Amino acid sequence: MEYIKSKEIFLLMRDTLKLIHPRLMEHGSRVAYMVYKMLEDKGGYEEYELADIVMVATLHDIGAYKTEAGSLSDILRYESRDSVAHTIYGYLFFKYLSPVEDLAKVIMYHHMDYDQLEKVDYKYKELAAYINIAEKMDIYFKAMGSQFDMHMFHKQAGTKLSEEGLEQFYQTAVKHDIFAKIQSEEYKEELDYIVDFMIFSNENKKKFLEMLMYCTGFRSEYSVVDTITTVCICEEIANKMLLKEDEKELLYYGALIHDIGMLAIPREIIEAPRKLEPEEMKLLRTHVVAAEKVLRKRMQEDVLEIAIAHHERADGSGYPRKLKDSQMNYMQKILQVADTVTGLTNKRSYRDPLHKEQVIEILNEEVTKNRLNRQIVNTFIRFYDTIMQRVQTESAEIMKMYQTLNQQYDQVSKKFKVWDK
């Protein structure tokens, strides 16, 4: 069964990252458009290849969502002076978490001076060089307005920028009236045309959706651990309750993406080391609506319905729709239990994890109040130790992966400081 189309996965990633920083994502789209038109004019690329290139070019600054978390608006700074951090984090993120590992180095090299890049042995280095040109053009065009002249970088031809790339850019810019289309936003339509050609295998779709979930780690790595915990608990309960294979799959995807709307919530609120004020709580609760907005019409409806019901409760006291027991299915109710358990057993900024006895007591209370489903809670409690054992193992693996990623980040950063001036 097709839960989502390839193109929609890409659009979903784009819109989700837009929740964190709209301007940075718009920059990604414009750079992707310029690169796409340059390569189309140059020739030799099939449309589906151009579509893949658009995908990676759109996400070329993905590392900045993490490394520049506190100062994302200062695009000019990290795109011109301190570019190392976001290129390396983006590279590692793509390398470890995307299904298109061979394109990851495009991200690492997208700020490298051309006279250095030329010496590198890498299949897609020209693509990195083109992104470098396109992103300079875009950033300075946006910053300088009518003062902008695309030839202003010509003195860097052959040193910082590729001479061939620049010539190609001048030609393409004139032929397609690139800057006018960017100004009027007409470029978006042309970009949509090529996005239609994206084709991912089912395996890759799954990996991209997992990568999307890992984006919640840009805010806090614990969000990822939380989601993995919830997914694990859902899987275990679904197995014990003998759900059908297709139901298990729906539940898996629903659980995987249920909290992506958290990316729209300010970090100070997510990580507040105290109880939230009513106004803050209200804002926190908008994460469900935020997720629904990006998922609706993209993700298959059954998956969406599971994801956005994770804070609903059988007595109608949940949010956002105050659904009642009879309006919800089993998969939605399993996710509600799993999400509750995750909230109680994982560390929170304002308290330590609760013990087994406390967790069971709270769950039973929720059942008595007719908020959580009795049969599901009982199943969970019966297999508490085996389920939580597996959760432990999987969470430890995720934290290990982050450790490796962060270690490599430090190592590669040191190495790269040498050529970054």
Number of residues that bind Fe ion (CB under 5 A): 4
In three-state secondary structure terms, 253 is: helix
Based on CB atoms, which residue is closest to Fe ion, 43 or 278? 278
- Structure-block tokens of residue 103: 């394109």
> What DSSP element (H or E) covers 129?
helix 125-144
Are 211 and 97 in contact, with CB atoms under 8 Å apart? yes
Based on CB atoms, which residue is closest to Fe ion, 6 or 346? 346
Which of 140, 150, 62, 151 is CA-nearest to residue 104? 62
| Binding range to Fe ion, per CB under 5 A, among 40-48, 78-86, 233-241, 397-405 | 78-86
Which of 219, 214, 217, 211 is CA-nearest to residue 70? 219
| Binding range to Fe ion, per CB under 5 A, among 4-12, 57-65, 364-372, 385-393 | 57-65
Rounded to a whole number of angstroms, the minimum distance from the CB of residue 70 to Fe ion is: 17
Within 123-142, the residues that bind Fe ion by CB under 5 A are 135
Rounded to a whole number of angstroms, the minimum distance from the CB of residue 108 to Fe ion is: 11
| Binding range to Fe ion, per CB under 5 A, among 54-62, 152-160, 216-224, 366-374 | 54-62
Rounded to a whole number of angstroms, the minimum distance from the CB of residue 264 to Fe ion is: 12
| Binding range to Fe ion, per CB under 5 A, among 37-45, 73-81, 99-107, 367-375 | 73-81
Rounded to a whole number of angstroms, the minimum distance from the CB of residue 269 to Fe ion is: 13
Rounded to a whole number of angstroms, the minimum distance from the CB of residue 135 to Fe ion is: 4
Based on CB atoms, which residue is closest to Fe ion, 135 or 305? 135
Distance between CA 196 and CA 183 in Å, rounded? 23
Within 363-392, the residues that bind Fe ion by CB under 5 A are none
Based on CB atoms, which residue is closest to Fe ion, 79 or 235? 79
The residues, ordered by sequence, that sit 6+ positions from 314 with a Cβ below 8 Å of its Cβ are: 324, 325, 328, 333, 370, 371, 372, 373
Rounded to a whole number of angstroms, the minimum distance from the CB of residue 43 to Fe ion is: 25
In one letter, which amino acid is 88? I
- Structure-block tokens of residue 85: 């951090």
Based on CB atoms, which residue is closest to Fe ion, 95 or 205? 95
Based on CB atoms, which residue is closest to Fe ion, 55 or 205? 55
Q: What are phi and psi of 157, to 5 degrees?
A: -65, 125
The residues, ordered by sequence, that sit 6+ positions from 297 with a Cβ below 8 Å of its Cβ are: none
Site mask, Fe ion, residues 246-285, x = CB under 5 A?
-------------x--------------------------
Looking up tokens 């978006």 gives 188
Torsion of CA 117, 120, 123, 126, to 10 degrees: 10
**Which residue minimizes CB distance to Fe ion?**
135
Based on CB atoms, which residue is closest to Fe ion, 79 or 126? 79
Based on CB atoms, which residue is closest to Fe ion, 50 or 288? 288
Number of C-alpha atoms within 13 angstroms, CB side, residue 419? 14
Based on CB atoms, which residue is closest to Fe ion, 106 or 243? 106
Rounded to a whole number of angstroms, the minimum distance from the CB of residue 390 to Fe ion is: 22
Distance between CA 106 and CA 100 in Å, rounded? 11
> Is residue 312 within the footprint of Fe ion (CB under 5 A)?
no
Looking up tokens 């299915």 gives 329
| Binding range to Fe ion, per CB under 5 A, among 56-64, 194-202, 298-306, 388-396 | 56-64
How many CB atoms neighbour CB 242 within 10 A?
8
Which of 285, 232, 298 is CA-nearest to residue 259? 285
- Structure-block tokens of residue 275: 């109880």
CA–CA–CA angle 130, 151, 186 (5° rounding): 65
70-79: string of b/e by CB count within 10 Å (b at 16+)?
eebeebeebb
In the list 8, 61, 226, 312, the residue contacting Fe ion (rule: CB under 5 A) is 61
Rounded to a whole number of angstroms, the minimum distance from the CB of residue 60 to Fe ion is: 6
Based on CB atoms, which residue is closest to Fe ion, 125 or 205? 125
Rounded to a whole number of angstroms, the minimum distance from the CB of residue 199 to Fe ion is: 26
Rounded to a whole number of angstroms, the minimum distance from the CB of residue 259 to Fe ion is: 5
- Binding residues for Fe ion (CB under 5 A): 61, 79, 135, 259
